[in-house]
Structures are given as structure tokens and as C-alpha cells.
């Protein structure tokens, strides 16, 4: 047993010497240490090496998984950036598609746009008046009900699905009450009437 163990150790020493290219002094020093090894010590070294190898393999697998997750997140971010860029282009094109502007002091945005358009309502308030911002921001508008409730909207879309997609972005950004509303010839109408024949209720 000792002879076999000595042969294995000697082989390891030769390999290590060849790989590390030890100097003569280092070789003698390591030879002394090798002779002082007991079978128990050698077994512990082997077990420690196996444990470390397993840990390295686990860390490699964890790293590979994290890299895959990171790549998936990067793809998702790039897709969201592209969608946002497309939405900005749509918003920039919308003022050119409309033929009217915001109304004056009444706070209503009844425009002279013919046909049906969709907007995204972001809130309805009685004590918050933002109507002064309507004239300078073509994509920001709203209506004032008879009871004084002010309903604010963003965007003007000729396609319902674009408006719905914009609504989803707003909800993701924290505007939980965002929802799509419809206008016909500048007057607000029920969404279901606007969608008649477009989507199934």
C-alpha cells in the first residue's frame, strides 16, 4: 500500500514539476513535503480538491444562468426601447393629423378633427386645474364636466390599438387609472360606440 501510494505521489510530483517548471531548490523543498505526507493527509487533500472542483462547477453553472438572465433582460430592454421610440414617433405625428387645437377658457378640447379618435385618460379631478397647459401641449388635453370635474387625457390616436398600447405603457409607469376614451368630431362618445365593428365586446 505504501509502495503504491509512494508511486502515485511521485508521479504527481513529476507532473507538477513539469507543469510548474520548479527550480532545483523548490523541487527539493516540495519533495521533502511530499515525503512527510501521511495517507490521511493525502486523502484530505484529494477530498478538498474534489469539493473545490464541485464548487467551481457550481459557480460556473450559476454564472452561466446569470449571463442568460442578463441577456434576456437586455433583449427585453431593447424591445421596450424600440416600442417607446415607435410610440414617440406616433405622438409626434399626431398633431399633424389633427386640424384643430385646444379650446380656450372652457377647458374643453373639442377639436375640429373629423371622425373618431382615441385618447388616454389619466385622471379625473375636481380640485386640480391643469387646463392652462392645454394650449402649449398639443398631446395634453381634457374636458370639464358640468359638475366641474376635470378629465385629463394624453395623446390623439386614429387607431384604437395604438391608444391601448400607450395606455399599457402609462400603467407600467405608475398611472394605474389610465384608460382609453373616444371622441367623434371633437365630442366625447362612449368607447363601445366607437369600437362598434372594430372589436368584439
77-90 per-position pLDDT tens digit:
887 887 777 766 66
Q: Which tens digit of pLDDT belongs to each residue from 153-190? A: 888 888 889 999 999 988 898 888 888 998 888 888 88
Residue ranges of the chain with per-residue pLDDT less than 50: 94-112, 197-201
CA angle 165, 169, 173 (to 5 degrees): 165
The CB density around residue 106, as the number of other CB atoms within 10 Å, is 10
Other Cβ atoms within 10 Å of 26 Cβ, number: 12
> What is d(CA 199, CA 187) in angstroms, rounded to the nearest whole number?
21
- Tell me the backbone φ, ψ of residue 182, rounded to 5 degrees: -125, 150
Q: How far apart are CA 177 and CA 87, in angstroms?
A: 20
pTM to 2 decimal places: 0.41
Please report where in the chains the cell 389633427 appears, as a residue.
98
C-alpha cell at 33: 513535503
CB atoms within 10 A of CB 169: 15
Q: What 3-state DSSP class applies to 41?
A: helix
Amino acid at each position: 500500500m505504501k509502495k503504491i501510494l509512494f508511486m502515485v505521489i511521485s508521479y504527481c510530483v513529476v507532473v507538477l514539476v513539469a507543469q510548474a517548471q520548479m527550480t532545483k531548490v523548490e523541487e527539493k523543498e516540495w519533495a521533502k513535503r511530499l515525503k512527510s505526507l501521511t495517507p490521511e493527509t493525502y486523502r484530505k487533500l484529494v477530498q478538498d480538491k474534489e469539493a473545490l472542483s464541485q464548487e467551481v462547477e457550481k459557480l460556473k453553472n450559476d454564472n452561466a444562468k446569470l449571463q442568460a438572465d442578463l441577456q434576456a433582460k437586455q433583449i427585453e430592454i431593447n424591445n421596450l426601447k424600440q416600442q417607446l421610440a415607435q410610440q414617440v414617433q406616433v405622438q409626434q405625428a399626431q398633431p399633424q393629423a389633427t386640424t384643430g387645437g385646444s379650446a380656450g377658457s372652457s377647458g374643453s378640447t373639442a377639436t375640429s378633427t373629423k371622425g373618431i379618435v382615441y385618447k388616454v385618460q389619466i385622471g379625473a379631478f375636481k380640485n386640480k386645474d391643469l387646463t392652462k397647459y392645454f394650449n402649449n401641449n398639443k398631446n395634453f388635453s381634457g374636458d370639464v364636466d358640468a359638475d366641474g370635474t376635470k378629465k385629463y387625457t394624453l395623446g390623439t390616436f386614429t387607431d384604437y390599438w395604438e391608444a391601448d398600447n400607450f395606455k399599457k405603457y402609462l400603467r407600467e409607469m405608475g398611472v394605474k387609472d389610465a384608460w382609453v376614451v373616444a371622441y367623434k368630431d371633437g365630442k366625447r362618445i362612449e368607447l363601445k360606440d366607437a369600437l362598434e365593428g372594430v372589436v368584439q365586446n
